[in-house]
Chain A
Amino acid sequence: MPEPLVVIDKVSYRYPRSPDLVLHDVSLEIRKGEFLGLIGPTGAGKTTLCLTLNGIVPQFYSGRFFGQATVAGLDTLDHPISALAQHVGAVFQDPETQLLSTSVENEIAFALENLRVPREEMLARIPEVLAAVRLDGMEQKHPHELSGGQKQRLAIAAALAMQPDLLVLDEPTSQLDPVGEQQVFAVIRELNQELGMTILMASHAAEQMAEYADRIALLSHGDLITTGTPDEIYAQIDLLHTHHLRPPQVASTFYFARKAGAPVTSVPVRLEEGERALDTLREACPIAPPERLPEPPAHGGAPPLSVRNLRYVYPDGTEALHGVSLDIHTGEYVLIIGQNGAGKTTLVKHFVKLLEPTEGIVTVDGVDTRTLTLSGLARRIGYVAQNPDNQIFGKTVGEEVSFALANLDYPPEQVEARTVESLEAMGLQNVRDAHPLSLPKGDRARVVVAAILAMRPEIIIFDEPTTGQDYRGAKYILDVSRQLHQMGKTVVVITHHLYLMPEYAERVLVMGKGTILLDAPIREAYHEADLLRSTFLSPPQAVLLAQHLGRGDGRAYALLTPEEVAGCLAGGAEGKGRAS
């Protein structure tokens, strides 16, 4: 067994202003060449643990530190961050915050210059690391010209150029679209498997972690709960649920099936294993698609939002929308999906007049948006942008929620009444006087929604609300969207996280290259796997398992969730055998 590169011994840590320990008696070893996945809910201490390894915690943040952490034999409290940086390369969540130079080449050279690496050595390392992350040929590009996935790969290249022993990645794909996520995971797998790089990666991407990690460490509320192989950890669904973590859908499917009485002996955690287990199960007992599946409700009447032949060309000449037409009806819950650059955000920005059509027309309640004012539209349509923090500027939650009303000259008593109403609807009444940025990210999104709700709009648009959120945070926001939907509002959501949406959305618009490729009920849209792949989306594992069942017996299994697939498996099983 390889020797340990990282030894964390009884490490506890408390931030200066925090009353509680963020890490509590964590003891962990990471062996050379190992890919260790770090999972845990928001607030578990994952980022703190990552920052401990390059000395930023506690050297930069101060606070109280107990125990010992060593990397390549260096105690992280006794050696400067600059010395530790030569052993630990770090890549964080948002690539935008890590890039500061004016060319790809300069970006990689920056850290090397700070470490006084000789010029010849720098010139030798730059092409090497660019090749390792598949960015060769882009040396002179400005980092802002790169896609999200390319930016994150550049951040990895900059870390690799220091020739670290350990690469620490803190949720490196959570801000990326599916294409970027695939690119980053492919590069990390290559670095680990072909170059033997030791990896510590915190991530909520359960399916990928199950696929790539050698070992998983589960952290919760600062405590290291357990470590084990992905098969050991992801098969413990109850444990994961206890800590608000999402297992791979294939694992959930077989877990629910076993609970419902299907003859399942072990829970597979990877798709291929799940498909093999389905084949075994099918031999053991008959499986049939359910006779009835829930139908989405019909929505009629005049559509409050209508788009006809919408074409939009950005000032730089990029044609982002090509003749898009659609109607959104009162009370619908519409999901818009597609790769980055498909035109999703461009489309919804026309709904709120943040953009005006180059050609075509957008109408709200039958009125051309070009004749409406922004403030008038804001009363009818609320827009929650991708990063809620960008919409927050008040010093207190109450001020934030009442801001628009006060600026639209509503009487003070009406401002107060609506503010209270919105805060109560979003469960924020107890934090009315808190600074919005002091709240967790999920709550910050609620503050933005409350501010929009105060305007009592009929249509609410969520633009990628789940990006950067953990499972609990994403569900939290989507539950808010459902709550609004149940209040009779029309909801439009853009997201890449398809696995989250079956219990919320009714209708799906699949966009690609500025057009609507498909407009269908969710049950139909999610099973158009080839069409989804054409816009770089992958159906959730539950859908893929359902399609595997269909390929086996030629029948249609229009299933969407692990529970539905599990119900199907359990429904056909009469305890005739056991599948693994």
Chain B
Amino acid sequence: MSQTPAGKEREVRLVGGAAIDGAPVTYVVVLAAVVAVLSFVPFSVIVAAGGSFPMSQGVYSLVGWILGPVAGAIAGGIGRLIGVLLAPHTAGPVPAASVWGAIIASLAAGAMVLGQKRRWWWIPLSVLFIVEFLLFVGRAIFVNGVGVGVALANSFVNWSSIVLYMLPTRTLFARWINGKNVGLVTLGLFLGTWMIAGISHLSVTFILYWVFNWPEEVWITLIPIIPTENLFRCLIGAVIGTGVIVGLRAIGLIKPAEAIY
């Protein structure tokens, strides 16, 4: 500071509770509203179980990166819940699973921390994802007789995401999103969205599969479709995310305590 203040410096803190886990409630409300609004836009059909899923899937991870794991999960979950109620055409065959997918995506994204705080949250989350994967693919192979090759090819998005989440790539993407280079921010958002959307897809799909048990023919059909859909989620996340993060940085709005951008 070029000028020296005459007054005594005071400790600055938020008195009262207008924040959730360091994220102002207004941010949580706004991002929940964004998720709810994007829930109106049908993004692709669900081949295996019918219905469609929404464009909001591309921004669940962004919500976590902006708000952190707790506030992000709340915003993503509330936004998707409102979306399910107001836009049932994108709710899918099991609406509750869709809300769960939003919560887990924002939570996992928010847990991509760069500092010391919550640096181990990725471990229990990874264990959860591995269990989900085993329940999903294991049931397909051992109960419903889907070929191993087909099952692995079909679940490429899911297992590649778990691997990326468990490796240091998780932190690398977070560092890119946190960096000043806009190109790397976009790349981090793109790859980060691949990873988080793949995990979210697994968390929803393993529930749907236990309900619908779709046959091997459907697994084969979905092999090229699922990665294509995930690429579109990545595009949505990267395009919207870059604009939002660059804009937030430019206008200097208060940064939530757990944000990684």
Contacts and interface: CB of A to CB of B under 8 A. Distances in A.
Contacts of A10: 5-7
Nearest to A67: B7
Nearest to A221: B3
Interface residues of B, number: 28
A228 B3 CA distance: 26
A554 interface: no
Contacts of A62: 12, 254
B7 to A, nearest CB: 3
Contacts of A24: 3, 5
A292 interface: no
Contacts of A12: 3, 5-7
B143 interface: no
B9 A64 contact: yes
B138 to A, nearest CB: 46
A81 B11 CA distance: 16
Given A66-B5, A66-B7, A395-B242, A17 B252 contact: yes
Contact of B6 (A16, A25, A78, A438): A25
A77 B254 contact: no
B24 A60 contact: yes
B15 interface: yes
B15 A395 contact: no
A58 B14 CA distance: 8
A391 interface: no
Interface in A379-437: 395, 434-437
A575 interface: no
Chain B, interface SS category: loop
A67 to B, nearest CB: 3
B15 A77 contact: yes
B16 A68 contact: no
B246 A395 contact: yes
A561 B2 CA distance: 41
Contacts, number: 94
Given A59-B15, A78-B15, A21 B251 contact: no
Contact of B7 (A11, A17, A80): A11
Interface string B235-254: 00000001100110111101
Contact of B16 (A18, A82, A436): A82
B96 interface: no
B245 to A, nearest CB: 10
A61 interface: yes
Contact of A81 (B10, B16, B247): B16
Given A20-B1, A435-B246, A79 B15 contact: yes
Contacts of A77: 10-12, 15
A81 B1 contact: no
A471 interface: no
A78 B11 CA distance: 10
Contacts of A21: 1, 3, 5
B18 interface: yes
Contacts of A60: 14, 18, 24, 254
B224 to A, nearest CB: 33
A17 B3 CA distance: 16
A110 interface: no
Interface string B125-148: 000000000000000000000000
Contacts of B3: 12, 20-21, 24
27 contacts: A10-B6, A10-B7, A11-B7, A12-B5, A15-B252, A17-B252, A18-B252, A20-B2, A20-B3, A24-B5, A59-B15, A60-B14, A60-B254, A64-B9, A65-B9, A66-B6, A66-B7, A67-B8, A68-B10, A81-B15, A81-B18, A83-B16, A395-B243, A395-B246, A437-B247, A437-B251, A438-B251
Interface of B: 1-3, 5-16, 18, 24, 182, 242-243, 246-247, 249-252, 254-255
Interface of A: 9-12, 14-21, 24-25, 55, 58-68, 77-83, 395, 434-438
